[in-house]
Amino acid sequence: MERRKLLKTLLAAPVAAAAQTSGGLPPLTIKDVKVIATSGGRQYRWVFLKIITSEPGLYGIGSAGNHYQAHAVIAAAEQHLKPWLIGKNPDRIEDLWQAAQMRTYWRNGPVNNNVLAGMDMALWDIKGKRAGMPVYELLGGKARDAVACYDHAGGRDRESAVAGVQASMAKGFRHIRVQYGEGGYGGGGFIPAGQGNRPEGGYQGLAFDEEMYVDTIPQVFEYVRAKVGFGPKLCHDVHSHLSGMNAVELSRRMQPYQLLFLEDVLPPEHIAYYRHIRQVATTPQAVGEVFSHPYEYLPLITERLIDYVRCRVSAIGGITQAKKIATLCEVFGVKTAFQEGGENDPVNQLAAYHVDISSTAFGIQEENAFPEAVHEMMPGAARIRNGYLYGSGKPGLGIDIDEKLAAKYPLGEIRGGGAYRTDRALDGSVVKP
Ligand code: MG
């Protein structure tokens, strides 16, 4: 062979091979992106992305859920992601994640992250189906037998809080979150509507009072611990309602009740106070439900100022980002407690499950159980038994969606725009959620 010809052959061969095959599998292309929005016949505002490939019958599903800005996510996915994504190679998850994030120029906001997460989960679903394996096998295989979950308990008074914990224990949960009083999050710190010293003509609704909350919650836990003992692992969610030294003081006063964790005792604007908390209390801290940017939790992890990272997988960009956070946590001895519960959907729950079960950094997962109608619409949705979450074990994420059933419950206009509720103090000022 001529020298020039030989050189040409040597240079051309590997490139041609790489373009044609991916580990012996035929090349794939993204043919279509469907946005599926449904209320599930209830009050859900679920948005899913279905990525359809060039291989007949091969598609993936991802959660782009955002309860408070669902229609913004739909528009971002349909008008902006879909035209960009069609024609691309679904095998290149990391590359697509990076390129899709930079595609919007401004990045790390919740809506863009939701869209990114929908794409990312669907791509992992496709890869798993292609490999004939559950996604956790591609992430390194099971690091535990099942994923432990914490249940939600609460009560309007101390007795019903105890009853709530006992009911969770009877269902098999070892980990239980205890909330208290009227008004949901912040219960124990609310002055009833119309009461208290208020400005003339001002706000008359439930009014949050920080010092009242800091006084009340430790007393509730003292009572609950006296009744149920120290067997169950208890946690409590402050939902960012406290500021500065009140957060430090609550962490200190909760120490005798040996919490699994105290959640979001501070809003993301004031995370520097975690340094003060660490100096005075050993109460473990779980943080980050409303975080969407990695640099919000980076210093908290690397300085070991917190014990659990609480972000939601669909709010941070999907499995690709969650796995990286879990690895970062592992290095610094921090654990994961991915947010689920409430308005979350079964696809997001499974995305967290696959990271949880394959990660050494796993701490706990928030529970979320769905009615049978949802299991019918989404076959393969995970199930909780005796305090543990189990996936379907099928290839990919292990879940599907019945599009006809989903279409029966379209996501229509959302009253009031879907805003998260606003809590206020006695003087009418806004309290951070
Ligand atoms: Mg929370």
- Adjacent-strand bridge partners of 237: 263
For the segment 381-395, the average pLDDT, to the nearest whole number, is: 98
Distance 120 CA to ligand 1 centre (A): 24
Residue scoring higher pLDDT (20 or 260): 260
**Tens of pLDDT along 270-290?**
999 999 999 999 999 999 999
What angle in degrees, to the nearest 10, is found between the helix axes of 319-332 and 346-358?
40
pLDDT of residue 77: 98
What's the CA gap between 54 and 433, in Å, rounded?
Answer: 44
Distance 312 CA to ligand 1 centre (A): 10
Distance 289 CA to ligand 1 centre (A): 6
For the segment 373-378, the average pLDDT, to the nearest whole number, is: 97
Indicate the residue type of 341: G
Instruction: Tell me the pairing of strands 175-180 and 233-237.
Output: parallel
Q: What end-to-end distance do the CA atoms of the chain give, in Å?
A: 73
Query: Chain-wide mean pLDDT for the chain?
Result: 94
pLDDT of residue 20: 53
- Please pick, among 239, 308, 353, 354, the residue that the annotation labels catalytic: 239
Assess whether pLDDT exceeds 50 at residue 1.
Answer: no
Does the annotation mark 239 as catalytic? yes
- Please pick, among 185, 213, 297, 308, the residue that the annotation labels catalytic: 185
**Tens of pLDDT along 187-198?**
999 999 999 999
Please identify which residue in the block is written with the tokens 């401004």.
Answer: 106
Structural domains of the chain, ranges and CATH numbers in brackets:
138-397 (3.20.20.120)
Tokens for 422, please give them.
């606003």
Distance 240 CA to ligand 1 centre (A): 8
Assess whether pLDDT exceeds 50 at residue 40.
Answer: yes
Distance 63 CA to ligand 1 centre (A): 19
Does the annotation mark 354 as catalytic? no
pTM recorded for the entire structure: 0.94
Instruction: Tell me the pairing of strands 46-53 and 59-63.
Output: antiparallel
What's the CA gap between 339 and 366, in Å, rounded?
Answer: 6
* Residue 149 banded pLDDT, cuts 50, 70, 90: very high
**Tens of pLDDT along 19-37?**
556 778 889 999 999 999 9
What's the CA gap between 356 and 350, in Å, rounded?
Answer: 9
**Tens of pLDDT along 291-315?**
988 888 899 999 999 999 999 999 9
Distance 223 CA to ligand 1 centre (A): 23
Indicate the residue type of 71: H
pLDDT of residue 118: 98
Percent of the chain predicted with pLDDT > 70? 95
pLDDT of residue 4: 58
Distance 287 CA to ligand 1 centre (A): 8
Closest to 266 measured CA to CA, from 284, 235, 291, 239:
239
Assess whether pLDDT exceeds 60 at residue 404.
Answer: yes
Percent of the chain predicted with pLDDT > 90? 89
For the segment 151-172, the average pLDDT, to the nearest whole number, is: 96
Distances (CA, A) of 197 to 188, 190, 192, 194, 209: 18, 13, 11, 9, 12
* Residue 182 banded pLDDT, cuts 50, 70, 90: confident
* Residue 362 banded pLDDT, cuts 50, 70, 90: very high
What's the CA gap between 81 and 118, in Å, rounded?
Answer: 10
**Tens of pLDDT along 52-97?**
999 999 999 999 999 999 999 999 999 999 999 999 999 999 999 9
* Residue 342 banded pLDDT, cuts 50, 70, 90: confident
